[in-house]
Amino acid sequence: METNDRLNPASPDTPKGRGKDSSERRCILTGEPAPRTGLIRLALGPEGQVAADWSERLPGRGAWITADRTLFDTVAAKGRLRGALARAFKGNGFSLPDDLGDRIAAGLQQRLLARLGLEKRSGTLILGGDRVREALAKGKVFAVLHAADARPDGSDRIDGMARAVGESLGEDIPHRRVPIARDALSAALGRENVVHMALVDEGAATRVLADLDRLAGFCGDKPADDVKSAEDWAAGATEVALPLRERH
> In this structure, is residue 135 part of a structural domain?
yes
> In this structure, is residue 80 part of a structural domain?
yes
Is residue 90 domain-shared with residue 111, that is, in the same domain?
A: no
CATH number reported for the structural domain that contains residue 40 in this entry:
3.30.1230.10
> Measured in whole angstroms, how far is the alpha carbon of residue 14 from the centre of its chain?
19
Is residue 95 domain-shared with residue 110, that is, in the same domain?
A: no
Among 189, 174, 175, 183, residue whose Cα is nearest residue 223: 183
Is residue 107 domain-shared with residue 144, that is, in the same domain?
A: yes
Extended strands (E) in the chain: 24-26, 33-35, 39-44, 50-52, 63-66, 125-127, 143-146, 175-177, 196-199
> In this structure, is residue 82 part of a structural domain?
yes
Which pLDDT belongs to residue 186? 97
Which pLDDT belongs to residue 237? 40
> In this structure, is residue 46 part of a structural domain?
yes
CATH number reported for the structural domain that contains residue 222 in this entry:
3.30.1330.30
Judge contact between 140 and 202, C-beta under 8 A. no
Which pLDDT belongs to residue 10? 39
Is residue 180 domain-shared with residue 202, that is, in the same domain?
A: yes
Q: Is 129 exposed, middle or buried (0-12, 13-18, 19+ CB in 10 A)?
A: middle
Which pLDDT belongs to residue 223? 60
CA distance 202 to 137: 17
Residue where a domain terminates, one of 102, 128, 146: 102
Judge contact between 115 and 208, C-beta under 8 A. yes
Domain with 235 in it: 103-246
Is residue 92 domain-shared with residue 109, that is, in the same domain?
A: no
> In this structure, is residue 1 part of a structural domain?
no
> In this structure, is residue 13 part of a structural domain?
no
Which pLDDT belongs to residue 88? 96
> In this structure, is residue 179 part of a structural domain?
yes
Among 187, 141, 180, 181, residue whose Cα is nearest residue 163: 141
Which pLDDT belongs to residue 12? 35
Which pLDDT belongs to residue 32? 95
Q: How many Cβ atoms sit within 10 Å of the Cβ of residue 99? A: 9
Judge contact between 41 and 64, C-beta under 8 A. yes
Q: Render pLDDT for 129-166 as a digit per residue (tens, 0 to 9).
A: 999 999 999 999 999 999 999 999 999 999 999 999 99
Is residue 64 domain-shared with residue 180, that is, in the same domain?
A: no
Number of domains in the chain: 2
> In this structure, is residue 39 part of a structural domain?
yes
How would you classify the pairing of strands 143-146 and 175-177?
A: parallel
Question: What's the chain's length in residues?
Answer: 248
Is residue 109 domain-shared with residue 86, that is, in the same domain?
A: no
Is residue 133 domain-shared with residue 201, that is, in the same domain?
A: yes
Which pLDDT belongs to residue 228? 46
- Reduced to 3 states (helix: H, G, I; strand: E, B; else coil), residue 57 is coil
Is residue 111 domain-shared with residue 87, that is, in the same domain?
A: no
Which pLDDT belongs to residue 244? 33
Q: Model-level pTM?
A: 0.79
Is residue 76 domain-shared with residue 197, that is, in the same domain?
A: no
User: Within the chain, which residues score under 50 in pLDDT?
Assistant: 1-5, 7-21, 225-248
